Amino acid sequence: MADQRSRLGLGTSPLGNLYTEVSDDAARAVVDAAWEAGVRIFDTAPHYGLGLAERRLGAALRDRPRAEFVVSTKVGRLLVPDAGGAGLDPEGFAVPATHRRVWDFSADGVRRSLESSLDRLGLDRVDVVYLHDPDDHWEQAAGEALPALVELREQGVVGAIGAGMNQWELLARFVRASEVDTVDAVLLANRYTLLEQPALAELLPLCAERGVDVVAAGLFNSGLLATQDVPDDATYDYRTAPAEVVGRARRIAAVCARHGTTLPAAALWFPLGHPAVTGVLVGARTEAEIRANVAAFDTPPPAGLWAELRDEGLLGAGVPTP
């Protein structure tokens, strides 16, 4: 079996002050702890804290050997200075509203966005670039942004290209509509988790057939699966979870406990059961969180866990497991 830890990546939206402020020192400690634990994959985006996550990640990696880590970032939102911006960023990041996001999937927008990202990261190239949430921008993203990324890949500025979204349907459209070898990878958030697998029927088999890597993110469904004791006010899809969803998560947690593991550990491992999934991303805002996630990743849940989840109707009969 391949070293599973090499398939675990750090998502950096919490380091962009998602919902809660994180100090520069605490953010650096997260990246340092991830590195010390063997994590070498780091995912970021201009959207995360209006560039703050990219700056912090770049600073933390600056003295690391470049050949030893993989960085992915995203394009589609240009950060434009906003002299009239007041208070905190209205999109959920605890940072001053000094800039505003402008959707731009034009070829020029892609190049400008990537140039700014490279500057914030302090790098001359990135390993992966995703089109970020092109849900309402299919024509421009497919017709202008994707060809621009292909050109940048040919120039060696970008290693691999793809799209990252919270839905599977448009990702499948990108893969299906692309010429052979155009899309290297897709980043799928929240739609292939221990809780729910809507991407299983179409997107994942399509990616497996086309040789497109799937990186699974949002493994905790935005918080619901992040702790063994699921609270009443747990979040699901970035809002308070419905009671029936909380109940389902608690039933899964109870099965995990009977097999000597935890809900977050099972959630981390679950997506890797599918052959199309080549890696998983998990966010962390503290050193303790990333260490706990890596520790959970070192011990796969027992096979009996998956069998009982199926018996309890909490996992479909045809869903692949690790």
Residues annotated as part of the active site: 48
Structure tokens at 189: 């958030």
Structure tokens at 304: 């009996």
- Location of structure tokens 């959630």: 267
CA–CA distance, 173 with 186 (Å, rounded to integer): 11
CA–CA distance, 175 with 275 (Å, rounded to integer): 17
CB 15 within 8 A of CB 49: yes
Structure tokens at 130: 């995703």
CA–CA distance, 198 with 193 (Å, rounded to integer): 9
- Alpha-carbon distance values, 100 to 75, 86, 236 (Å): 15, 11, 26
Q: Is 76 left (phi over 0), alpha (psi -120 to 50) or beta?
A: left
CA–CA distance, 273 with 236 (Å, rounded to integer): 23
Q: SS3 for 149?
A: helix
CB 92 within 8 A of CB 29: no
The DSSP-derived string for 27-45 is HHHHHHHHHHTT--EEE--
CA–CA distance, 64 with 52 (Å, rounded to integer): 19
